[in-house]
Amino acid sequence: MAVSLEVEVVLLDIEGTVCPISFVKDVLYPYSVQALPNVLATQWDSPSFATYRNRFPEEYCTSREGLSAHFNDLISRDVKISYLKDLQGYLWIKGYESGEIRCPLFPDVHPSFLKWQKAGASIVIYSSGSVAAQKLLFQYTNSKPDADLRPLISGYFDTVNAGMKKDASSYRKIAASRKEDIRKWLFLSDRVEEVEAAKEAGMQSLVVVRNGNAPLTEEENKKHELIASFDEIKIVR
C-alpha cells in the first residue's frame, strides 16, 4: 500500500528497519564476543582501548575477566547501553575493514535513499548502536556499485547525543538540532514503543514490518500504519 507524506527529514532506525535483526544478533554481536579476548590480551593498557574500558562501571574495568563476563552478559541480554555499544563499535572496525563484515541492507533501502534525496528530503539515522558503529555499518554495505551510503546521510543520533529511543524527549531533541519543523519528520522503526515515542513528540512515524522482526500484536497492527518496504512511501513536498 502506498502512503503519501509531506516529509523533509526521514529519520531511520537500523536493526529490523534497514537491515535484518539476524545481521545484528547473529553476525555483529558474535563478532564482538569473539574479538574481545584478543583485544583484552593485547590492548588492555593501550590508550585507544582504555577510552572504551574506562566507560564501563568501575567494578567491571579492574580486570579483564570482569569486563569480559559483563560484556558477554550484556550482549546475551541485548542490553542497549552506551558503554557496551561504544566498545562494540570499536571491535567491529577490524571486521568491516577486513571485509569479514558487510551490512546486508534490505533491497529497497539504497534506492529509497536516492529517491528521497531527489525529492529533497534529508536522511538521518537514530539507533541504539553508537554513532561510530552506525557510520561503519553504512560505509560497508552490500549495495552495488556504491557500498558506502554515508554521502547520502546528513546526521547520526544514538542514546548518547539524543537519549533513549522509547522517550519522546529524544525525538524532540533530535528535531531541535535542525531547522525543519518536527511535523515534517518521518521516523521509521520496527519497534512500536519507538514509533509511539516519535509520534508523541510530534513526528510522523510508521512501523516497518520486515522478515525476521518480532510479530506485532493485533492491537499494535490496528493502532499503527505499517509498511513492509520503503517503496510504499511517497514523499510529497
Ligand X SMILES: CSCCC(=O)C(=O)COP(=O)(O)O
* Binding partner selected for residue 53 from Mg ion, ligand X, none, CB under the kind-specific 5 to 8 Å limit: none
Residue 190 among known ligand-binding residues: yes
Which of residues 78 and 97 has its CB atom nearest to Mg ion in the complex? 78
- DSSP-derived 3-state class of residue 178: coil
The Cβ of residue 237 has, within 10 Å, a number of other Cβ atoms equal to 9
User: Which residue has the closest beta carbon to ligand X?
Assistant: 129
* Binding partner selected for residue 64 from ligand X, Mg ion, none, CB under the kind-specific 5 to 8 Å limit: none
Report in angstroms how near the CB of residue 128 gets to ligand X at its nearest: 4
Residue 128 among known ligand-binding residues: yes
Residue 173 among known ligand-binding residues: no
Which of residues 69 and 81 has its CB atom nearest to ligand X in the complex? 81
* Binding partner selected for residue 20 from ligand X, Mg ion, none, CB under the kind-specific 5 to 8 Å limit: none
- H/E element holding 208? strand 204-208
Closest by CA to 85, choosing from 99, 105, 71, 98, is 71
* Binding partner selected for residue 134 from ligand X, Mg ion, none, CB under the kind-specific 5 to 8 Å limit: ligand X
Which residues are bridge partners to 9 per DSSP? 122, 185
Separation of CA 196 from chain center:
17
C-alpha cell at 162: 539524543
Q: How far apart, in whole angstroms, are the C-alpha atoms of residue 153 and residue 137? A: 12
Which of residues 187 and 236 has its CB atom nearest to ligand X in the complex? 187
Contact between residue 104 and residue 149 where contact means Cβ atoms under 8 Å apart: no
Residue 127 among known ligand-binding residues: yes
The site for Mg ion (CB under 5 A) is made up of: 13, 15-16, 190
Cite the DSSP H helix spans in 99-229. 109-118, 131-139, 168-176, 192-201, 218-223
Contact between residue 181 and residue 4 where contact means Cβ atoms under 8 Å apart: no
Residue 165 among known ligand-binding residues: yes
* Binding partner selected for residue 80 from ligand X, Mg ion, none, CB under the kind-specific 5 to 8 Å limit: ligand X
Which of residues 8 and 158 has its CB atom nearest to ligand X in the complex? 158
Q: How far apart, in whole angstroms, are the C-alpha atoms of residue 8 and residue 120? A: 7
C-alpha cell at 235: 514523499
Report in angstroms how near the CB of residue 118 gets to Mg ion at its nearest: 26
The site for ligand X (CB under 6 A) is made up of: 13-16, 24, 28, 80, 85, 127-129, 133-134, 137, 165
Binding residues for substrate: 127-128, 165
Enumerate the known binding-site residues for Mg(2+). 13, 15, 190
